[in-house]
Amino acid sequence: MIKSNKIICALDLPDLEDIKRLVYSIEYDILYKFGMEFFYNFGMKGIEEVKKIKPNCKIFLDLKLHDIPNTVKRSIPPLLKKINPDILTIHASGGRKMIEEAVKITNETSLELDIKRPLLIGVTILTSLSQGDLIEMGLNEKLENYVLNYAKLSKNSGLDGIVCSALETRNVKKKLGNNFKIITPGIRILNSNNQDQARVVTPKEAFNNGSDYIVMGRALISAEEPNKVIEKIISEV
């Protein structure tokens, strides 16, 4: 049995009223993920509207920051000031300098604002990518090796954890320790459609492999009864 606060619901819907209805209807204490689709549609104001429904809800701001170090550095303070997220993502492929600048400014800004420092999490190889996709990009090493390299770089540069598929979780935890957090998207309930995801697992497999959080998008937000899906995940693991 796992706690509901290990489940992250990705609010990837095109209509803010539908999103608000979904958040209102969820009876469990879960995290909510605001990604690019949400942010570019509804912005900071949209997040505020969702917060009105669940004022204490935990926020996973999945904007996957990726740019030159200075630009990433300057983009973080306004996000902390205006949103105060619990988790924030940046691309590990931005490299050591970008990651270190992000860590530094996050620490400084959290102190200055007197807020809880968000977990800074590195995105490794997207769960929609397969080995074949990497080869097409000229990346000929094994996919797991890239994930592990990005994970090591993330840890050595000060990040709190990474996003990767649960297929790589065991290996990363073994090499980098249990305190290094792993967030796993690409979750599918048995017999559901993989859609554009390539490296998928069930919630049970993800937690058994050692993931700290799972991200549930379409398998949860498109369900007829989302609470039943959450209840099933909690009781099965």
Selected binder of ligand C5P within 35, 46, 94, 226 (CB under 6 A): 35
CA–CA separation, 63 and 76 (whole Å): 11
Selected binder of ligand C5P within 126, 143, 166, 167 (CB under 6 A): 126
Minimum separation from the CB atom of position 61 to ligand C5P (A): 12
User: Does the protein bind ligand C5P through residue 172 (CB under 6 A)?
Assistant: no
Q: Tokens for 190, please give them.
A: 């048995």
- Residue 135 makes CB contacts below 8 A (sequence gap 6+) with none
User: Which long-range contacts does 23-28 make (Cβ < 8 Å, 24+ apart)?
Assistant: 23/50, 23/53, 23/54, 23/57, 24/53, 25/226, 25/227, 26/226, 26/227, 26/230, 27/227, 28/4, 28/227, 28/230, 28/231, 28/234
User: Does the protein bind ligand C5P through residue 85 (CB under 6 A)?
Assistant: no
Q: Catalytic residue at 232?
A: no
Q: Restricting to residues 94-123, which ones interact with ligand C5P according to CB under 6 A?
A: 123
Q: Tell me which stretch binds ligand C5P (CB under 6 A): 24-32, 202-210, 213-221, 223-231.
A: 213-221
CA–CA separation, 182 and 179 (whole Å): 9
Selected binder of ligand C5P within 109, 127, 154, 157 (CB under 6 A): 127
Half-sphere exposure of 83 (CA within 13 A, CB side): 28
Token pair 């604002």 in the structure block, residue: 113
User: Does the protein bind ligand C5P through residue 209 (CB under 6 A)?
Assistant: no
User: Does the protein bind ligand C5P through residue 197 (CB under 6 A)?
Assistant: yes
The CA–CA distances, whole Å, from 227 to 90, 145, 220 equal 30, 37, 9
Active-site residue identified among 64, 97, 104, 232? 64
C-alpha of 27 from chain center: 21
Rank residues 30 and 215 by Cβ distance to ligand C5P and give the closer one.
215
Minimum separation from the CB atom of position 100 to ligand C5P (A): 21
User: Does the protein bind ligand C5P through residue 47 (CB under 6 A)?
Assistant: no
User: Does the protein bind ligand C5P through residue 185 (CB under 6 A)?
Assistant: yes
Token pair 């959080």 in the structure block, residue: 213
Rank residues 123 and 167 by Cβ distance to ligand C5P and give the closer one.
123
For ligand C5P, the binding residues (CB under 6 A) are: 10, 12, 35, 62, 123, 126-127, 163, 185-187, 197, 215-219
Catalytic positions, written as ranges: 64
